């Protein structure tokens, strides 16, 4: 059985957060450690095979996805916890880190096979957003009662409201709440603003969706790595990368997916640290689009997406986005305008794939792992090819 083990390793309590150079070094140390391992001796001498690993570092530690083949969930979790602990101890620079989370998830291919084989109400929906929610819930033995649905919805609502405080970069006004200072200005406009509770629920849903989005992008990275292919030609289940502009789908490969994942983590870290000021690059604009979509899917899944919270999320998007030029990437009739003189005349920032991970200006932050690499250098030298024109 293939398992995905999620590990959160944190720096020592009281230690200063890692700067950019230290984070790059931590990635290198962790990846080098995993490269030396093919299998793990689990409990009672049972061997657990390591299939793949994905490492993402943030200022306070690292998020790891370890894909293993083992006889049982408990063996996989215990073996990976032991492995990561040993890798941290081996490195003098990481020896004081601690593992605060080590959880097992079933590989999405297995969930998909189970759902595809199901009949009746358990058959997977055709709509991608509904299908993701269906896969995330997993097969059910019986339909829940109305009372159970209501209780689950109320419980989730409370959890999301509790998460709202973690979105430190944004106050309620970013979600359309009218402050006392603005009330006089708003009089006569007909706009009453959103409620405080709707704003909190929208903020909490973004934090909730961040966890889901990052987890599922890790799975997308693994799927592309396992198949050695790109989004356009991938036969496996992809959770989010298929929602990026299709014109470049042939070039969304494993390396691109890893860079995009690092971008999502960097952006959402600034959201929750309280250090966010502006979106840094085209990739972040697209990442926010996916995050907003996932937040609405999560809310809808639990029956919480009413007009008030939807308006709060729309207001948040309007205020965080500086413009909507990135939407043109989804319009096939405008394919190529991002690299043409027309785009420049319209004041558009460069939006070809080679520019997605480049900061809009010197004041914007792009994660070092996602910064320009060999793919962009090849494209600039004329060896990267044109856009793929995927439908």
Give the residue among 213, 217, 212, 209 at the shortest CA–CA distance from 65.
Answer: 217
| Residue 226 within a domain | yes
Give the containing element (helix H, strand E) for 47.
strand 47-58
pLDDT, position 250: 95
Across 140-155, average pLDDT: 73
Q: How confident is the model at residue 336 (pLDDT cuts 50, 70, 90)?
A: low
Q: Report the C-alpha gap between 133 and 290 in whole angstroms.
A: 14
Q: Is the pLDDT confidence value at 340 over 60?
A: no
Q: Is the pLDDT confidence value at 209 over 70?
A: yes
pLDDT, position 113: 47
One domain, residues 64 and 212 = no
Domain limits for position 301: 164-380
Q: How confident is the model at residue 319 (pLDDT cuts 50, 70, 90)?
A: very high
| Residue 188 within a domain | yes
pTM of the model: 0.64
Q: Of the residues 61, 76, 106, which one is the last residue of a structural domain? A: 106
Across 130-143, average pLDDT: 46
Across 87-115, average pLDDT: 74
Give the residue among 70, 75, 55, 67 at the shortest CA–CA distance from 9.
Answer: 55
pLDDT, position 123: 47
Q: Is the pLDDT confidence value at 70 over 70?
A: yes
Q: Is the pLDDT confidence value at 273 over 50?
A: yes
| Residue 224 within a domain | yes
One domain, residues 188 and 93 = no
pLDDT, position 140: 45
Q: Report the C-alpha gap between 7 and 153 in whole angstroms.
A: 28
One domain, residues 89 and 173 = no
One domain, residues 231 and 94 = no
Q: How confident is the model at residue 132 (pLDDT cuts 50, 70, 90)?
A: very low
One domain, residues 319 and 208 = yes
Residue 285 vs residue 77, higher pLDDT: 285
One domain, residues 289 and 222 = yes
């Amino acid at each position: 059985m293939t398992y995905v083990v999620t590990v959160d390793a944190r720096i020592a309590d009281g230690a200063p957060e890692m700067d950019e150079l230290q984070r790059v070094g931590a990635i290198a140390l962790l990846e080098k450690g995993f490269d030396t391992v093919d299998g793990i001796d689990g409990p009672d001498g049972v061997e657990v095979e390591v299939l793949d690993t994905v490492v993402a570092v943030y200022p306070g530690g690292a998020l790891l996805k370890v894909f293993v083949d083992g006889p049982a969930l408990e063996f996989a979790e215990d073996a990976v916890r032991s492995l990561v602990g040993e890798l941290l101890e081996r490195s003098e620079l990481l020896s004081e880190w601690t593992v605060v989370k080590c959880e097992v998830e079933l590989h999405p291919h297995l969930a998909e096979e189970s759902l595809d084989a199901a009949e009746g109400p358990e058959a997977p929906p055709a709509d991608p957003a509904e299908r993701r929610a269906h896969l995330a819930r997993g097969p059910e033995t019986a339909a829940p009662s109305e009372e159970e649905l209501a209780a689950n919805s109320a419980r989730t609502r409370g959890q999301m409201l509790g998460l709202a405080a973690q979105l430190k970069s944004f106050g309620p006004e970013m979600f359309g709440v009218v402050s006392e200072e603005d009330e006089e200005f708003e009089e006569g406009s007909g706009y009453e603003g959103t409620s405080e509770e709707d704003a909190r629920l929208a903020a909490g849903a973004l934090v909730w969706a961040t966890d889901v989005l990052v987890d599922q992008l890790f799975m997308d990275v693994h799927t592309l790595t396992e198949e050695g292919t790109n989004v356009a030609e991938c036969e496996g289940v992809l959770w989010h990368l298929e929602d990026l502009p299709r014109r470049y789908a042939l070039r969304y490969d494993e390396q691109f997916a890893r860079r995009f994942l690092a971008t999502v983590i960097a952006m959402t870290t600034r959201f929750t640290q309280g250090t966010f000021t502006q979106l840094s690059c085209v990739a972040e604009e697209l990442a926010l689009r996916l995050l907003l979509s996932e937040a609405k899917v999560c809310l809808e899944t639990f029956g919480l997406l009413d007009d008030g919270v939807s308006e709060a999320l729309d207001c948040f998007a309007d205020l965080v986005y500086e413009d909507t030029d990135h939407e043109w990437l989804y319009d096939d009739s405008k394919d190529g305008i991002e690299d043409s003189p027309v785009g420049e005349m319209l004041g558009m920032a460069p939006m070809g794939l080679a520019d997605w991970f480049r900061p809009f200006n010197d004041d914007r932050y792009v994660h070092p792992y996602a910064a320009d690499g060999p793919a962009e250098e090849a494209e600039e030298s004329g060896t990267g090819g044109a856009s793929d024109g995927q439908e």
